[in-house]
């Protein structure tokens, strides 16, 4: 009714003002999809040529992949299956100890590197002492004096 009143829009097509609804029961195809303005994916239809190209490129194997061996099968092959539980536990503990020792050695080497003296033949590389290094002790001394002064003032106020 409001559009009929406007002289400019009176003779024009009003479909641009009407809401656009998508069909509820769309056919679901497995082709590619592209996002729409509302964030949902919209299905794109592929032509016959593209479908043929995709099918030729894929070349599916009609046979399933070979079955992976089970844990028990692997144990049978290696001979672990026939060992007693105690023997298996000893073997696992030995492996753990070996790993621990290697890691321990690596940590010790890293720790030693930190304490090694730098080569004296090379010039020092940017070991600059910060400008406020000596002033820290001075600041601490001043702070201690200030707190002592505050304590003295509090005692006077109590009297």
Answer for the pair 58, 52: CB distance below 8 angstroms, yes or no: no
Binning pLDDT at 50, 70 and 90, where does residue 49 land?
A: confident
What is the residue-wise DSSP string for 34-102?
EE-TTS-EEE-PPPHHHHHHHHHHH---SSPPPPPPPHHHHHHHHTGGGS-HHHHHHHHHHHHHHHHHH
pTM here is 0.29
pLDDT at 67 over 60: yes
Cα separations (Å) of 62 from 41, 55, 58?
31, 14, 12
Task: Name residues whose C-beta falls within 8 Å of residue 124's C-beta, 6 or more positions apart in sequence.
Answer: 118
Answer for the pair 33, 42: CB distance below 8 angstroms, yes or no: yes
- Tell me what pLDDT residue 110 has: 92
Half-sphere exposure at residue 136, Cβ-oriented, CA atoms within 13 angstroms? 5
| Structure tokens belonging to residue 102 | 């290697």
Binning pLDDT at 50, 70 and 90, where does residue 135 land?
A: low
Interval 90-122: pLDDT, tens: 989 999 999 999 999 999 999 998 888 877 776
Residues 40-50: what's their mean pLDDT?
A: 67
């Amino acid at each position: 009714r409001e559009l009929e009143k406007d002289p400019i829009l009176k003779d024009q097509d009003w479909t641009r003002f009407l809401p656009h609804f998508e069909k509820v029961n769309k056919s679901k195809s497995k082709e590619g999809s592209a996002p729409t303005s509302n964030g949902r994916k919209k299905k794109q239809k592929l032509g016959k040529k593209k479908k043929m190209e995709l099918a030729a490129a894929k070349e599916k194997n009609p046979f399933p992949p070979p079955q992976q061996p089970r844990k028990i099968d692997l144990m049978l092959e290696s001979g672990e299956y026939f060992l007693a539980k105690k023997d298996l536990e000893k073997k696992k503990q030995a492996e753990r100890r070996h790993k621990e020792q290697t890691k321990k050695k690596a940590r010790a080497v890293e720790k030693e590197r930190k304490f090694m003296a730098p080569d004296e033949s090379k010039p020092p590389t940017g070991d600059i002492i910060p400008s406020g290094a000596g002033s820290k002790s001075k600041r601490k001394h001043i702070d201690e004096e200030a707190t002592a002064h505050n304590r003295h003032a509090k005692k006077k106020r109590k009297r």
